[in-house]
């Protein structure tokens, strides 16, 4: 259907129907050909302007033309599942307009808004929908103040004698992953919503009602175009959860989590299989859904690198894209600075993105720019707002825009120390478990995050901060005195000047509801675009050269994360948390728990010595321990019969059987009750591997419940003991002592 006709129909329907759901759009004006070879739906998601300044769209155009040649023009539909218009200079310099122009040229038919479609404001997005896009936007759960869909909830496309309904579903996370102010009126009241309430049920109900409406209108198949994702932090709105709580959807073409998902089957509420697919990000591939004439459905991902680049369709799109690139090329290629170091958003060891869960040198640089350029006590930037690396060498304007593509405006505000503390808790709530775009890269601050403490941050249905309801995982928060260079503990009652951007400070983006226009005193209001803050800092304050102060990819040590290497949801999670919180075990290097690291003999003695309340030790009998950290514990062990020998030598790893023997030997001294022996140990598959000299100790620990082996009953007596296993032993031991 032509866009103008669709709009007239939508207006007519809105005036004649008192329903929260859209009725189907009319069939295409030209008579379609029968879908003899099937129907093809091509799909993209999270293109984010692509990684090649839009050139990948030419390959999409070429592949679409190839499919049209094979299946017939009227049997091929091209759709996008959100987050297309933002993510690089191409989007930032045009507020998404250039990407829309390219999508028009390529021939997109349908799209849904992802959270980043709103990054340039509600007025801009609605203008794209009404005046710029030749394709139609759908979303069943993007509602206005009256509970009506702002866009068409669904539309029907007829392929010969087959009717396919396309239902749009936007993530309710949009309420916080875009600036909340975009969905509010001047009084801060929400005038838009995404069915985010009732722990997911509102979304499930809205989707179900939309699907039912499409089915009642005669849809043979229902294709959900979703921007929901599969990340756990998106629960209860993950695509898998929507499928599990609805019926009637045949396939979900997803986005948001950047998952590479060629084809996956998920059970719906009736136990029926629903196809789920997602293409990843940055247009590395295009998805292909084929609905066969017999009703079978398949999905696959086609790498765009394999697409024919000699076709006329590719040439036409490429020429159009290059005409747009010329419009901003001169600006983005302008050299504005030099960097002596690589600046990164990634972990230097794993290569995985780290800026949303840990300090990085680029995060430090961006936060410094806000603090210093606005003369603040504290500066920070959300990790989700730091988007791309800067390589050593010349730094161009395009490089800076790639780091800060959103066009947010720098603000200076006055807030309390308590607001700062609450914000740090919110930003750190997922550290150790998942990424979070609201993670704070800071300047003028130092703080510690203890991941062994579960986050007690409470959020409302829209994902906004409500309160810290329990223990805080952020501690040792210190504020820099810029005059003396010294740090001092933050005062919750004091006020501080804070520099960041309007998205977080004025609009409460990423859930930072402790801020917002009503909760802050604005000192400087929207004084500079975010990328200009960074450029001016580098040029004016650093003399155009980013130097060795920013050399460490892990940053300058402003954020200490304790136990981030421990998985507290794993089998040893409760044990590790117990060992850490009780003070029995600490870090191995100042921050890590090192669950796979081997436990040494001296460490075992130290723990037992601590359990004995570190009694005074008389004359050393083990002569070579003087000056070593384990001097007292080893000599105590010798004095109570846990260690035999005049010398200790080098500290060494200890096996599970040895550990059992030592614990059993210490049982009487430490006052452990004797266990009741029974049967079971002799049935262990590796019972014969237990060394004879340690059998009594293994027996004691087995029946005391201290060391019971793995799920298969294996005792693994000669395996070296790990810190994770040791933590579990200590937890078992604590229950025995009690």
Instruction: Give residue 87's pLDDT band: very low, low, confident or very high (50, 70, 90).
Output: confident
Is the pTM value of this prediction over 0.85?
no
Name the token pair of 325: 């690139």
Domain architecture of the chain: domains with CATH: 3-8+21-327 (3.60.21.10), 333-562 (3.90.780.10), 573-737 (no CATH)
Does 2 score more than 60 pLDDT?
no
> What is the model's pLDDT at position 407?
83
Q: List the one residue out of 458, 438, 349, 307 whose CA is nearest residue 385.
A: 438
Does 29 score more than 70 pLDDT?
no
Residue 714 phi, psi (nearest 5): -70, 135
CB–CB of 211/222 below 8 Å? yes
Strands 143-144 and 273-279, how do they pair?
unpaired
Contacts of 440 (CB under 8 A, 6+ apart): 380, 381, 382, 383, 423, 424, 427, 428
Q: List the one residue out of 281, 251, 154 whose CA is nearest residue 210.
A: 154
Does 615 score more than 90 pLDDT?
yes
Cα(110)–Cα(53) distance, integer angstroms: 22
CB–CB of 123/96 below 8 Å? no
Q: What is the mean pLDDT of the chain?
A: 92
Cα(618)–Cα(63) distance, integer angstroms: 82
Does 479 score more than 50 pLDDT?
yes
Strands 559-562 and 445-450, how do they pair?
parallel
Scored b (16 or more CB within 10 A) or e, 344-354 reads bbbbeeeeebb
Name the token pair of 99: 């990407």
Instruction: Give residue 23's pLDDT band: very low, low, confident or very high (50, 70, 90).
Output: very low
Does 537 score more than 90 pLDDT?
yes
Does 449 score more than 80 pLDDT?
yes
Name the token pair of 66: 């190839």
CB–CB of 642/667 below 8 Å? no
Does 78 score more than 50 pLDDT?
yes
Which run of H or E residues covers position 313? Answer: helix 312-332
Q: What is the rounded average pLDDT of the residues 469-488? A: 96
pLDDT tens sequence across 381-425:
999 999 999 999 999 999 999 999 888 889 999 999 999 999 999
Does 3 score more than 80 pLDDT?
no
Instruction: Give residue 738's pLDDT band: very low, low, confident or very high (50, 70, 90).
Output: low
């Amino acid at each position: 259907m032509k866009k103008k006709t669709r709009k007239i129909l939508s207006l007519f329907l809105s005036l004649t129907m008192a329903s929260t759901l859209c009725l189907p759009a009319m069939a295409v004006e030209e008579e379609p050909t029968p879908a003899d070879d099937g129907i093809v739906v091509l799909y993209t998601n999270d293109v984010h302007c692509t990684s090649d300044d839009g050139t990948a769209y030419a390959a999409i155009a070429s592949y679409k033309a190839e499919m049209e040649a094979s299946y017939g023009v009227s049997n091929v539909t091209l759709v996008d599942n959100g987050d297309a218009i933002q993510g690089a200079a191409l989007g930032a310099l045009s507020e998404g307009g250039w990407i829309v122009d390219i999508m028009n040229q390529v021939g997109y038919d349908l799209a849904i808004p992802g959270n980043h479609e709103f990054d340039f404001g509600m007025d801009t997005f609605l203008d794209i929908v009404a005046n710029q896009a030749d394709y139609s936007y759908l979303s069943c759960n993007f509602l206005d103040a009256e509970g009506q869909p702002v866009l068409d909830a669904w539309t029907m496309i007829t392929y010969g004698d087959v009717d396919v309904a396309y239902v749009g579903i936007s993530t309710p996370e949009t309420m916080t992953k875009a600036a909340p102010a975009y969905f509010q009126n001047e009084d801060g009241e929400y005038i838009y919503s995404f069915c985010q309430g009732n722990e997911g049920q509102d979304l499930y109900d809205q989707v179900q009602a939309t699907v039912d409406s499409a089915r009642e209108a005669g849809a043979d198949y229902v294709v959900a175009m979703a921007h929901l994702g599969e990340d756990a932090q998106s629960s209860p709105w993950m695509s898998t959860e929507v499928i599990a709580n609805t019926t009637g959807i045949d396939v979900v073409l997803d986005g948001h989590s950047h998952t590479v998902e060629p084809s996956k089957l998920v059970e719906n509420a009736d136990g029926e299989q629903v196809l789920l697919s997602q293409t990843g990000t940055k247009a590395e591939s295009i998805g292909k859904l084929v609905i066969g004439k017999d009703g079978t459905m398949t999905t696959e991902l086609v790498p765009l690198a394999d697409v024919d680049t000699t076709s006329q369709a590719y040439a036409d799109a490429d020429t159009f894209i290059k005409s747009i690139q010329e419009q901003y090329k001169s600006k983005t290629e302008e050299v504005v600075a030099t960097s002596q170091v690589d600046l990164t958003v990634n972990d230097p060891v794993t290569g995985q993105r780290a800026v949303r869960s840990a300090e990085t040198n680029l995060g430090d640089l961006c936060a410094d720019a806000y603090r210093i350029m606005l003369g603040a006590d504290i500066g920070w930037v959300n990790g989700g707002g730091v988007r791309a690396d800067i390589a050593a060498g010349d730094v161009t304007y395009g490089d800076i825009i790639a780091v800060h593509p959103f066009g947010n405006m720098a603000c200076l505000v006055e807030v309390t120390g308590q607001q700062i503390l609450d914000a740090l808790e919110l930003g750190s709530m997922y550290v150790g478990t998942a990424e979070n775009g609201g993670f704070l890269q800071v300047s003028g601050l130092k703080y510690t995050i203890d991941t062994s403490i579960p986050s007690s941050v409470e959020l409302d249905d829209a994902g906004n901060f409500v309160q810290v309801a329990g223990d805080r995982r952020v501690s040792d928060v210190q504020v820099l005195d810029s005059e003396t260079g010294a740090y001092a503990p933050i005062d919750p009652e004091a006020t501080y000047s804070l520099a960041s951007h309007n998205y977080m400070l004025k609009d409460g983006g990423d859930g930072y509801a402790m801020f917002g226009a009503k909760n802050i005193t604005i000192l400087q209001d929207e004084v500079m675009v975010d990328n200009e803050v960074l450029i001016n800092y580098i040029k004016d304050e650093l003399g155009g050269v980013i130097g060795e102060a920013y050399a460490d990819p892990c940053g300058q040590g402003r954020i200490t994360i304790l136990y981030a290497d421990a998985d507290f949801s794993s089998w040893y999670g409760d044990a590790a948390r117990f060992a850490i919180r009780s003070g029995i075990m600490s870090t191995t290097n100042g921050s890590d728990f090192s669950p796979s690291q081997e436990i040494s003999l001296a460490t075992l003695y130290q723990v037992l010595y601590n359990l004995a309340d570190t009694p005074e030790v008389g004359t050393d009998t083990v002569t070579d321990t003087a000056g070593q950290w384990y001097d007292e514990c080893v000599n105590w062990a010798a004095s109570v019969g846990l260690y035999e020998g005049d010398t200790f030598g080098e500290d060494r790893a200890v096996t599970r059987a040895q550990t059992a023997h030592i614990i059993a030997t210490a049982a009487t001294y430490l006052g452990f009750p004797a266990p009741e022996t029974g049967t079971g140990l002799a049935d262990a598959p590796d019972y014969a591997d237990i060394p004879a000299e340690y059998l009594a100790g293994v027996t004691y620990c087995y029946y005391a419940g201290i060391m019971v082996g793995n799920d298969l009953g294996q005792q693994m007596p000669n395996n070296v003991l790990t810190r994770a296993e040791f933590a579990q032993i200590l937890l078992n031991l604590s229950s025995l002592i009690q």
